Amino acid sequence: MRDGKAQLRLDRRLATRRGWISNDELAKELDALPDVSEKCEVIDLPGSPADEAADAVEDTPGLH
């Protein structure tokens, strides 16, 4: 497989094309990816929708 096509093989936009990659091949490739969840960082943004939802629950009597 050419290098360019190999790089696009797992592209989500192309994975749904008929004959591009089988579901079994896709599952195998995704299972082979390393777990990098330890590299993620949670960012708390003031005023985010999650903060507003948490504030609404805190301010509502009986929902604690």
Q: What is the mean pLDDT of each run of 10 residues along the chain (64 residues)?
A: 73 83 88 91 76 58 56
Q: What is the pTM of this model?
A: 0.47
Residue 26 near residue 15, CB atoms below 8 Å: yes
Looking at residue 43, what is its pLDDT?
82
* DSSP annotation of 37: G
What does the angle CA 5 – CA 7 – CA 40 come to, to the nearest 5 degrees?
Answer: 160
Residues 6+ apart with CB under 8 A from 64: 57, 58
